Amino acid sequence: MENYDYTNKTMLAPMVRIGTLPMRLLALEYGADLVYTPEIVDKGIVGAERIVHPDNGTVDYQVRGVSVFKTHPSEKSRLVFQIGSANAELALQAALTVKQDVSTIDLNCGCPKRFSIHGGMGAALMEEPEKLCGILRTLVQGTGLPVTCKIRIFEDRQKTLDLVKMIEKTGVKALAVHCRYRDERPRDPGHWDRFKEIVEAVSIPVIANGDVTEYSKIAQVRELTGVKGVMIARGAQSNVSVFRKEGLVPHLEIVRQYIRKAMETRNLHSNTKYVLMQIFAPDFTKDPHYRPLCDAKTFRAICQVFGMVEELDAWEASQKAQGFPYDVDTHPKRTVAPVAAAEEKVAESDASFCPPASISTTTATAKRKIDDVENAQDEKVVETKSAEVVESETKEETGPPAAKVAKTTTSDGSSSQPTPADTPQPVDLE
């Protein structure tokens, strides 16, 4: 097991649905030293089938034909696989499933969303430090890979310092710290003043996350706090060339580059559209391309919006000539439980939703209302998932184990988080 040198390194933060393969590959091309996968819940990938696609070399982990995680050998040495878990054994199984295709395993201990906390994962683990450290020790001892974790901070400074010291003793190689409290969101200023005391409390590298939205802030946070590495989320979502010291690449050029990567990797249309809409929001929602993008129902329609149909035609012709797949619009067919099928129907009905251009001028009060609505949606998802688990338990004697795994996956291969694929909802990115 090699120790990675985090000194002066920058990295793409784990972002639900955003950090799929096309975004990670672009981040590396523009100078990121490490890239994180979106959080993938342990049960969602345990038992997955590993498939290598000969046309582009991508490695696809599928459960009953549904992509859960896709990677490419070119990113392996710089890829951190983030697990969402509240169970040491399941976390280890998930890590061992993907071990041959990643360089590091990271445990998510900072996600504040209710659907994560409800399952005892994410930020909920910070309130159970013994469980958190138990999972980390199991991963450190059982994976044969470097292990890290990502946390938030408590308002209580001493409580935070006590936690990071416990985490260090598990044998993790680095600690990423998002400088916000559990209930704070991106609109709330991060607490950069807390990094230095954490750096001084442990001997392992500390990675700063929060409010690093442009290249100039990378050096700034290092100098002020003494952190070894810096992690970027929102800045990279808006323009992934944020890692480029020469400055940002024009917005539409980034959009077209992303579409090309999505085409080359055969990223599913629903995830591609979702990411593109996040790239436009909130600063470019008045751009003339935005409304047609909202209306695009297929990958070809997306290409039409950005004048890339000829490129798509050439790629499809090449794929057909070699006998390779070229469809990036169709979700794989699968057997789903009635509740899961109902969820998919809701997601499809929301697929064309597009926030008004005025969203960029939304007031703080309105944003809080949006959060309330989103949290209410999360609660409904949790209730639905709970009902689904009960149903699966009653059928445990006769139902195949794989069916339980498939129920926790999504159809766009980005994450097992329950978010409608095309709906540009407010996302807690960091």
For residue 246, count CB atoms less than 10 angstroms from its CB and return exposed for 0-12, middle for 13-18, buried for 19 or more: exposed
How is residue 82 written in tokens?
A: 């983030």
* Closest-CA residue to 103 (of 82, 85, 131): 82
Q: Between the CA atoms of 140, 141, 145 and 150, what dihedral angle is there, to the nearest 10 degrees?
A: -10
| Phi then psi dihedrals of residue 62, to 5 deg | -120, 145
Taking the alpha carbons of 384, 386, 388, 391 in that order, is the dihedral positive or negative? negative
pTM over 0.85: no
Mind listing the domains of the chain with CATH numbers? Answer: 9-243 (3.20.20.70), 252-406 (no CATH)
pLDDT tens-place values along the chain, 430 residues long? 567 899 999 999 999 999 999 999 999 999 999 999 999 999 999 999 999 999 999 999 999 999 999 999 999 999 999 999 999 999 999 999 999 999 999 999 999 988 788 899 999 999 999 999 999 999 999 999 999 999 999 999 999 999 999 999 999 999 999 999 998 988 899 999 999 999 999 999 999 999 999 999 999 999 999 999 999 999 999 999 999 999 999 999 999 999 999 999 999 999 999 999 999 998 999 999 999 999 999 999 999 999 999 999 999 999 999 999 999 887 654 433 333 333 333 333 333 334 333 333 333 433 443 344 344 444 443 333 333 333 333 333 333 333 333 333 333 333 434 333 333 444 445 5
The C-alpha atoms of residue 59 and residue 50 are separated, in whole angstroms, by: 7
Instruction: Quote the Cα angle for 409-125-368, to 5°.
Output: 75
The C-alpha atoms of residue 147 and residue 141 are separated, in whole angstroms, by: 10
Q: Between the CA atoms of 326, 328, 334 and 338, what dihedral angle is there, to the nearest 10 degrees?
A: -160
How is residue 47 written in tokens?
A: 């038992």
The C-alpha atoms of residue 368 and residue 363 are separated, in whole angstroms, by: 9
CB atoms within 10 A of CB 322: 10
* Closest-CA residue to 123 (of 88, 161, 150): 150
Looking at the DSSP assignment, which residues form a beta bridge with residue 70? 60
CB atoms within 10 A of CB 376: 11
The C-alpha atoms of residue 286 and residue 332 are separated, in whole angstroms, by: 34
What is the DSSP pairing of strand 206-209 with strand 174-178?
parallel
Are 96 and 86 spatial neighbours (Cβ–Cβ below 8 Å)?
no
The C-alpha atoms of residue 216 and residue 225 are separated, in whole angstroms, by: 15
3-class DSSP state for residue 25? helix
The arrangement of strands across the sheet holding 59-63 comes to 49-52, 59-63, 66-71
The C-alpha atoms of residue 332 and residue 62 are separated, in whole angstroms, by: 11
What positions carry a catalytic annotation?
Answer: 111
The C-alpha atoms of residue 404 and residue 389 are separated, in whole angstroms, by: 8
